[in-house]
Amino acid sequence: MKQVFLLGDPLGHSLSPAMQNAAFRAAGLDWEYVLYETPREELRAAVARLRAEDCAGANVTIPHKEAVVEWLDDLSDGARRIGAVNTIVKRGDKLIGENTDLYGFLQSLRDADVDPRGARGVILGAGGAAHAVAFALAEAEASSLVILNRTESRARSLAVVLGKHHPQLEITVNRNGALGRANLIVNTTPIGMPPREDQSPMPGTFPRGAVVFDLVYLPAQTRFLRDAERAGARTIGGIGMLVHQGAAAFELWTGRDAPTQVMVEATEAALRETEHATRYP
Ligand code: NAP
């Protein structure tokens, strides 16, 4: 019996246990995906726990994707470039940080037939997920990127690392006026999920005809996406990205192909259940 942990705080509405446990069962693995609520001051001890024999790896979520880098033995090239880790893999006695969010985001755009090449992007947020989205858009040859974040210094440091790797990309920080020119807007903040399900992170009006992507997957239809749809935008919710990043993590931990369809069905069933439970507590 092996365990895979999800390190984050808070973890209340995670769909990952349903998704990954269904995948382990389908693959005939006696493995268990377990929530490991980790306050900031316990992150180091939680990473040390992953070194035990019975642990096969981990996912990392809000708010630790950047901070966890310090406690790992090595990073994949992608995770090093991005500066954020959402998956930890064990190679011998080493803990290696990986990032499958970048792949999950691009794959979800592909599913929706959206090509980000030449896009004028806006990213709301500048945390771990924003790093993956920003590098994904840069690597897919978006033409410009505006990063809007509550804490401006964090948006600036993302702009600096991104600019070093992608000097051709036009990057602007905290300029709301740039929204009107955008044709791809991505929310990477947790605004819109409980307890902020009645809020939207959008600081202005949606430009007509833009593609609007919300990384939040619970509820499936956030206020951000509803407002965008009303303004005539095309919308993409976070569930597809969740499954794609989870499938890539499964393959890194197990060395096997992910049972993607099983993961989609388990995640959608868990989403329906959780939505019902949050609406009628
Ligand atoms: P994180 O590293 O903690 O970053 C959170 C970001 O949101 C920061 O930029 C933070 O701004 C901003 N933020 C948080 N609360 C805010 C508030 N009340 N008002 C304004 N800004 C606020 O977290 P993360 O790991 O990037 O995750 C962010 C969200 O993306 C989570 O909801 C997570 O579930 C979701 N996500 C989804 C997927 C998927 O597959 N669908 C994948 C990854 C992440 P400050 O810098 O000012 O603190």
The answer to whether residues 8 and 62 touch, using CB atoms and an 8 Å cutoff, is yes
CA of 29 to the centre of ligand 1 (A): 32
CA of 59 to the centre of ligand 1 (A): 15
Q: CA-to-CA distance for 238 and 233, rounded, in angstroms?
A: 16
**Ligand 1 pocket, mutate which of 122, 148, 215 (most atoms under 8 A from CB):** 215
Residues of the chain scoring pLDDT < 70: 280-281
pLDDT of res. 281: 64
Q: Whole-model pTM?
A: 0.97
Give me the active site residues, please. Answer: 65
**Which residues, other chains included, contact 41 with Cβ-Cβ below 8 Å and sequence gap of 6+?**
none
The predicted-structure confidence for 2-60, as pLDDT tens digits, reads as follows: 999 999 999 988 999 999 999 999 999 999 999 999 999 999 999 999 999 999 999 99
